[in-house]
Structure 1
């Protein structure tokens, strides 16, 4: 009466690749467990905070005295979820196609928008209209210096007198996520400084993309992004031109401009499981890296470098003299208004390379043409 008919057992059998369907009451009473234990008294594997512990201590189960293991189920499921099968990849691909289209519609709407929330609404509307009602995460729609906040949540500020907008948004397709970020000029043309930073971030992403394949160590790909950032920031004069890339990396100054990890696994969660992150790592380069170790074929991972001009805690460190001899503050001052640039695509790892599942272009010429309403197809070609 209230919400329509639920999924029936025979419908679930037809829709999902499963062996047996039981109503939830079976789990509450534990009768299905009894049937299994009658056949073979064995170990029951369960996830501690997902299982009703009272079931395992019920009188009708106690007589079988099963061993209950709460440790390995979660680990096993998380390990299995890293590698996607063809159906899962198709769902992620579809979420990317819809999300990419929605990004394109945002670009086409920029000059009619007055504030961040209008562009946020355009993205959600086009996802919903194309069959993807759920968002994979809360949209980041950050204009101007707001883009220096990595997970900006307000999405309601006016666009007047701001250079760029960073849109980090993706929808779900049958519970599988897309995660895409584009950064674009609000007036249709990148400023000199914005274009320089945008091209540097695009170069970081492109060089990392060439490294992604089965067996690559993700820490190495992440550090390649930092090396490209070090070289680019030095060439722009933001970092002292007398320094070598090794000198710059030794100082760890690039963690102030690129503070987050290069990417994360993607699947049923936006930040999907199985990455073996080590957030207690004292190494500043890896403290926020969500994936550690080698990538397997069949994994889907984001490639999302960024350069940000965050006044906290960077500005105070500059005043305290921490970066004397490393940062040219006179040059840096010209870039604060850029805010932040991030470019993010979703990448399928293969044995001999990778496939970019994200279809919206990140080429600066396309970005500018899309905002200005010019012929985008000719720009793509």
Structure 2
């Protein structure tokens, strides 16, 4: 049995998460401003327009973090003085026996104190001392969610809508053992699905068949939800960073197929990308060259990882390796003797034409998880789309996903700009447009002195070819 399975036999650490949030609040607020009670509303049931069925349910992530509950129409309170976590669930009635209210509660996430919302009571208060305890719950509400029931607003008259949200964002960055186990489970199912898609490639005729194989494997393993809308792009489609059509014909002439897809397990996401050859003999010369460059980018970044690493430095190293690789195959022109061509390309940010996205992002309940402090207004194009800024703490889970792409929409403006075109050999570049793009993405947990790779999907040219053709479908 995998190590994560034994961990997942325990309980989701909802109360520990509440205590973690309170500790952060106490560090951030004056003691007089620390609340007595936290209150959060879960996702409500939304009916589809002109239909008698509910829309697909997705629990609010901050609510899930403090409760472990994947049921709709719930509320929670955490009474700080008594460390009492209470979940309020909707009543189950005969008329609702086929609706969301009849769903069973996951085993033992926390104590059920109040079952029916119409009969809510205030959480217990400690005996008064010199003054009445502060009863100012922190409440997160957005335009997507209706106000809380009147029973709760009368019990908790002061609602602070600005403090709890960023506090939970910060707390979610570092993961405990149970959360790591959930992420390992999501990655294990995702690895099986990527393996199944690999085996399907030799017989598949359309991107859609790979989508079907991937989803079938995930659902059969119990993961009925995907972490995000998957990308299954062959040839030039692999150059579109968030390609979604997933319906074009597969053929060896399109060189590669890029699959960026992953399962969700009990609210926690994997995020994995693999790029595979479409030809039975493997990658052609140009595709193999780009794959090796991206592989080198990822391995170099792995070597830097440890608690407290500055993510901008890891991202910049990925660009440096990309520049070296593109110089070696001639897409970037080499300079004369004594010419610091690599340095010039880095200073001008020309490599952004071929690696336009950030190296990675935090991962957890959301694919692009909270706490990254991205700065999309950054004037430096190398860092503008970097979703994690600053130091990465021990216990964080982050994706490492370098790539090299040949997207005309992105690259051609660089070819029209003299600052950049002087570095690019357009005659050599012409041979690479049909490669589309190569991305390799793994999920890693940062440790004190390094990292642990959570992703086990087949990777590397030899391993992928073995899976595709020695273990091929049928």
Same fold (TM over 0.5): yes
1:157 to 240, 248, 254: 248
SS of the residue 1:323 aligns to:
helix
Match of 2:318 in 1: 225
How many pairs does the alignment contain? 364
Q: Cα deviation per residue 1:132-154 (whole Å; 9 max; x = unaligned)?
A: 11110111000000000000000
2:294 to 201, 222, 227: 201
Q: Using the alignment, how far apart are the partners of 1:149 and 1:317 within structure 2?
A: 17
**1:2 paired residue among 98, 119, 126:** 98
Distance 2:113 2:203 in 1: 51
Counterpart residue number, 1:308: 405
SS of 2:172's equivalent in the other structure is helix
CA gap of 1:360–1:38, structure 2 versus 1, over 3 A, is same
Q: Check whether the contact 2:362–2:398 (CA below 8 A) recurs between aligned residues.
A: yes
The answer to whether the Cα contact below 8 Å between 1:92 and 1:177 also exists between their aligned partners in 2 is yes
Distance change (3 Å), C-alpha of 1:47 and 1:24: farther
* 1:174 maps onto 2:240 in alignment: no
Distance in 2 between the 1:369 and 1:172 partners? 27
User: Partner of 2:436 in structure 1?
Assistant: 339
3-state DSSP of counterpart to 2:451? strand
- Within 5 Å, give how 1:75-86 maps onto structure 2: 75-86=166-177
Task: Find the counterpart in structure 2 of residue 323 from structure 1.
Answer: 420
8 Å CA contact 2:199, 2:471 repeated in 1: no
2-side partners of 1:219 and 1:24: how far apart?
49
TM-score normalised according to structure 2 size:
0.72
TM-score by length of 1: 0.89
Identify the match of residue 147 of structure 2 among 21, 29, 52.
52
- CA shift digits 1:225-264 (9 cap, x unpaired): 0010011111111001115221110111111100000001
1:183 to 267, 275, 297: 275
1:15 equivalent in alignment to 2:108: yes
1:252 has 2:349 as partner: yes
Change (3 A) 1:210 1:42: same
Separation (CA, whole Å) in 2 of partners of 1:22 and 1:343 = 48
Shift of 1:187: 1.4
Contact (CA 8 Å) 1:261, 1:286: kept in 2 or not? yes
TM-superposed CA distance for 1:20, in Å, is 4.5
| Larger relative contact order (CA 8 Å, sep ≥ 6) | 1
Cα deviation code 1:67-94 (max 9, x no counterpart): 4321110011111111111111001001
The aligned counterpart of 2:213 is 122
Query: Aligned match of 2:306 in 213, 227, 231?
Result: 213
CA RMSD of aligned residues (A): 2.3
Q: Give the SS at the match of 1:333.
A: helix
Partner SS, residue 296 of structure 2? helix
CA distance in 2, matches of 1:232, 1:214: 28
Task: Give structure 2 stretches of 5+ with no counterpart.
Answer: 1-96
Name the counterpart of 1:379: none
Residue 370 of structure 1: how far off its partner (Å): 2.0
- C-alpha contact (below 8 Å) 1:186/1:371 kept by paired residues: no
Contact 1:140 1:168 in 2 (8 A): yes
Aligned pairs for 1:31-110 within 5 A = 31-33=120-122, 40-49=133-142, 50=145, 52=147, 55=150, 60-61=154-155, 66-110=157-201
Higher mean C-alpha displacement, 166-175 vs 307-316: 307-316
| 8 Å Cα contact 1:190-1:368 kept in structure 2 | no
